[in-house]
Chain A
Amino acid sequence: MNLKTEQNGAVTVIVVREERLDAHNSDELKAEMNRLFEGGTKDLLVDLKEVRFIDSSGLGVLVSGYKNASTRQGSIKLCSLQSQVKSMFELTRLHRVFDIYQTVDEALESY
């Protein structure tokens, strides 16, 4: 899976550089988020601008990251969702759980 992890001040940004986030590759995102949280990361921003398709496994991995962040008094936020991905969050009502921003800049300003 192609992930780019970068530091922006106190916020760690993971850019998911894949068209699909699904049952085939989402475990790698889960492992990367776990690695970051275990390494002391508190605030994680997941940039989904390149993701055109997300399935229930991809959503489940983000929920896992949300719970992981909560137990460590950290946070996970999402940004740059394409319309189909956004509609999946709405269908599963996860848009009520996550803080979702239009752009990376807007998300970074929220901290």
Chain B
Amino acid sequence: MKNQIDVQITIPNQTRYLSLIGRIGEQLAQALGSFSGDREALGQHLNLVLTEALVNAIKHANATDPDKEVLIRINVSDRELVIRVYDSGQGFDINGVSDGSCPEPLEEQGRGIYIIRSLMDSVVYKRADGGNVLEMKKALG
């Protein structure tokens, strides 16, 4: 039996859709057939990772342009969960935003990528068709 889920959603470049996509991440964790870990924690983490990735795409890569869109693709197999968030903008310097360490306490920005890196196993930001993709992977085994 093939045990794979693919979800693909396109949203306008607006933060009002953060809650919708975050909830889909939470629900997805509840629905995983073969996952034996803490579903509630996984759902919270997916909510967070999706929210942070979308904010980066909407505000930084797409520069809050309301005419742009963000594409989200979530692929889940027995072993791995992959989230890809596609922007259509100029992109941003992921290493300039965060080197992976926890931002200084009184910094007001820079925690988003740190949070994603803390909760996922690998995070890559690269050029894709007409824009960029933030690709985040997490082992489920």
List, in ascending order, chain B residues with CB within 8 A of A55's CB. 18, 48, 51-52, 55, 112, 115
- Whole-angstrom distance from the CB of A19 to the nearest CB of chain B? 8
- Whole-angstrom distance from the CB of A57 to the nearest CB of chain B? 6
CB nearest neighbor in A for B26: A53
Q: Which of B19, B58, B108, B112 has the most chain A CB atoms inside 10 A of its CB?
A: B108
CB nearest neighbor in A for B59: A23
Q: Does A59 contact B (CB under 8 A)?
A: yes
How many A residues, CB 8 Å from partner? Answer: 23
How many B residues, CB 8 Å from partner? Answer: 25
B11-47 with Cβ < 8 A to chain A: 15-16, 18-19, 22, 44, 47
- Whole-angstrom distance from the CB of A77 to the nearest CB of chain B? 16
Against B, the Cβ 8 Å flags (1 = close, 0 = not) of A67-101 are 10000000000000000100010011110110000
Determine which of B15, B19, B22, B52 lies in contact with A56 in the assembled complex, contact meaning CB atoms within 8 Å.
B52
Task: Please report the C-alpha to C-alpha distance between residue A97 and residue B103 in the assembled complex, in whole angstroms.
Answer: 13
Task: Please report the C-alpha to C-alpha distance between residue A88 and residue B111 in the assembled complex, in whole angstroms.
Answer: 11
How many contacts between A and B, using CB within 8 angstroms?
Answer: 69
Instruction: Check A53/B107 contact, CB under 8 A, given A20-B19, A91-B118.
Output: no
Q: Does B106 contact A (CB under 8 A)?
A: yes
Determine if B112 and A56 form an interchain contact, defined as CB atoms under 8 angstroms apart: yes
Determine which of A23, A59, A64, A94 lies in contact with B15 in the assembled complex, contact meaning CB atoms within 8 Å.
A23
Task: Please report the C-alpha to C-alpha distance between residue A17 and residue B117 in the assembled complex, in whole angstroms.
Answer: 30
Q: Does B95 contact A (CB under 8 A)?
A: no
Determine if A22 and B51 form an interchain contact, defined as CB atoms under 8 angstroms apart: yes
- Whole-angstrom distance from the CB of A98 to the nearest CB of chain B? 9
Determine which of B44, B51, B58, B105 lies in contact with A94 in the assembled complex, contact meaning CB atoms within 8 Å.
B105
Apart from A22-B15, A55-B51, A63-B108: 19 A-B pairs, beta carbons within 8 A = A22-B18, A23-B18, A23-B55, A53-B44, A53-B51, A55-B115, A56-B109, A56-B111, A57-B112, A59-B111, A60-B107, A60-B111, A63-B106, A84-B44, A92-B102, A92-B103, A92-B114, A92-B115, A96-B105
